[in-house]
Amino acid sequence: MHPLEQLRDEALREIAGAPDEKALEAARVKYLGKSGSISAWGEQMKSLGKEERPIVGQLLNEARNGVTAALEERAAKFRAQSESEALANIDISLPGTPHEIGSLHPLTQMLDRAIGIFRRMGFALADGPDIETEWHCFDALNTPPDHPARNEQDTFYLPDGRLLRTHTSTVQIRTMESAPPPIRVIAPGAAYRRDEVDATHSAQFHQIEGLYVDENVSVADLKGALEFFFHELLGPDTAVRFRPHYFPFTEPSFEIDVKSRALKSGEQWIEIAGSGMVHPAVFEEVNQARGDDTYDPEKWTGYAFGLGMDRLAMILFGIPDIRFFAQNDLRFLRQFA
Ligand code: PHE
């Protein structure tokens, strides 16, 4: 037997008999380490004759491979052993640690319900930024520079002249800037006003904006769509009332009141939305921004609405104070889980 084969067998015996990982590592160093006895044969190769070299080369390879494989096999065995020992100490019959399961915020629940109804009516979702330009929030919506809504007392202005949008109607403009009619979108989102904060006023509130632009759209379409919406949301015996109002960006304009047994307000009319037919001046502003006459007011008509979601959620769920929505009090939130 060649001395290399003897060396290999000696190594294999030692590995097979290694009692633990430390002994195994010692064996590896002894045979395959930098100055290990098998490795030493690699150095010796240079001094061998031409005929001997390939024979020893092959034996050396076999020895290295065999010993490496044996080391790995034994190491795997030690690993498996320590894993099963660790598992043996775990009592799998003990109850686990329960995860805390969260739930949707009542406003999110309200929005989801409303969005679901509009989606069934074929409305697509649109959105825009909370930080807006004055133009998107006011000028494009036919709101003159001296309009009280633009006042610094009502609007949060940023130092660079932009503002926190005071309504989601900004998304009407953004949608028409980027796509031609027909348009049928809703845009749920937050809006901001510098109100005195109390039980019914918050600096941040939530709306669902709606915009429908097509040929021959009329007030009848607006009424039909919103009546359907409120009947779906609050039940078929809900009464819906359109009351003449004024918004710069719609003409005619209406405020929408609802009365429903589903609402904690009972027999009282609740003012819940602003709406109206898109003002031709809004189409003209959009055309100017687009640099074309895609929204020709002689050809296209449309309706728009803005629903106040906080109010609706409060009356539907019987929430007495709008500030609860933002206080993150689990005693409040858990009631809607
Ligand atoms: N933007 C109006 C508001 O916040 C509501 C509205 C939207 C009115 C669309 C008409 C059309 O009060």
**pLDDT tens for residues 193-214?**
998 899 989 999 999 999 999 9
Ligand 1 atom closest to Cα of residue 306: 7
Please compute Rg for the chain using Cα positions: 38
Residues 234 and 38: their CA atoms lie apart, in Å, by 85
Which of 1-5, 10-14, 154-158 is the least confident region? 1-5
Q: Is the pLDDT of residue 264 over 80?
A: no
pLDDT at 206: 96
pLDDT at 255: 98
Q: CA torsion angle for 258, 261, 262, 264 (degrees, to 10)? A: 90
Asked if 63 and 44 count as a contact pair (C-beta separation under 8 A), the reply is: no
pLDDT at 102: 87
Which positions ≥6 away from 242 have C-beta within 8 Å?
A: 223, 254, 255, 256, 275
pLDDT at 336: 92
Check pocket membership of 306 for ligand 1, CB cut-off 6 A: yes
pLDDT in tens, 136-160: 999 999 999 998 888 888 899 999 9
Ligand 1 atom closest to Cα of residue 168: 1
Ligand 1 atom closest to Cα of residue 207: 4
Q: Is the pLDDT of residue 246 over 80?
A: yes
Q: pLDDT tier at 45 (50, 70, 90 boundaries)? A: confident
- Of 138, 168, 246, 249, best ligand 1 pocket probe by most atoms within 8 Å of the beta carbon: 249
- Could you write out the three-class secondary structure of 83-137? HHHHHHCCCCCCCCCCCCCCCCCHHHHHHHHHHHHHHHCCCEECCCCCEECHHHH
Q: Is the pLDDT of residue 288 over 90?
A: yes
State the CB neighbour count (10 A cutoff) for residue 214: 14
Q: Is the pLDDT of residue 74 over 90?
A: yes
Check pocket membership of 247 for ligand 1, CB cut-off 6 A: yes
Q: Is the pLDDT of residue 236 over 80?
A: yes
Q: What is the token pair recorded at 285?
A: 């502003």
Asked if 323 and 197 count as a contact pair (C-beta separation under 8 A), the reply is: yes
Check pocket membership of 142 for ligand 1, CB cut-off 6 A: no
Q: Is the pLDDT of residue 216 over 80?
A: yes
Ligand 1 atom closest to Cα of residue 211: 9
Check pocket membership of 169 for ligand 1, CB cut-off 6 A: yes
CA 323 to ligand 1 center in whole angstroms: 23
Q: pLDDT tier at 304 (50, 70, 90 boundaries)? A: very high
pLDDT at 92: 84
Check pocket membership of 143 for ligand 1, CB cut-off 6 A: no
pLDDT at 258: 94
Q: Is the pLDDT of residue 175 over 80?
A: yes
SS3 219: helix
Give me the amino acid identity at 131: I
Residues 59 and 54: their CA atoms lie apart, in Å, by 9
CA 169 to ligand 1 center in whole angstroms: 6
Check pocket membership of 167 for ligand 1, CB cut-off 6 A: yes
Check pocket membership of 305 for ligand 1, CB cut-off 6 A: yes
Q: Report percent pLDDT > 90 for the chain.
A: 77
Residues 56 and 75: their CA atoms lie apart, in Å, by 28
pLDDT at 320: 92
Q: Report percent pLDDT > 70 for the chain.
A: 100
- Of 169, 170, 186, best ligand 1 pocket probe by most atoms within 8 Å of the beta carbon: 169
pLDDT at 71: 93
Check pocket membership of 276 for ligand 1, CB cut-off 6 A: yes
Q: CA torsion angle for 129, 130, 133, 138 (degrees, to 10)? A: 110
CA 167 to ligand 1 center in whole angstroms: 7
More confidently predicted of 267 and 28: 28
Q: How far is CA 171 from the centre of its chain?
A: 20
Check pocket membership of 275 for ligand 1, CB cut-off 6 A: yes
pLDDT at 1: 85
Please state the rounded mean pLDDT for residues 36-47: 86
293 sits in which H/E element: none
Ligand 1 atom closest to Cα of residue 169: 1
State the CB neighbour count (10 A cutoff) for residue 82: 10
pLDDT in tens, 106-119: 999 999 999 999 99
Average pLDDT, the chain: 93
Residue recorded with tokens 């020893």: 56
pLDDT at 153: 83
More confidently predicted of 182 and 48: 182
212 DSSP β-pair partners: 184, 303
Check pocket membership of 172 for ligand 1, CB cut-off 6 A: no
Please state the rounded mean pLDDT for residues 246-266: 91
Tell whether the torsion through CA atoms of 8, 11, 17 and 22 is positive or negative. Answer: negative
CA 191 to ligand 1 center in whole angstroms: 11
CA 254 to ligand 1 center in whole angstroms: 9
SS3 332: helix
Q: What is the token pair recorded at 79?
A: 């690993």
E runs forming strands in the chain: 124-125, 131-132, 163-164, 183-192, 204-214, 239-247, 250-259, 270-278, 301-308
User: CA nearest 16: which of 67, 62, 74?
Assistant: 74
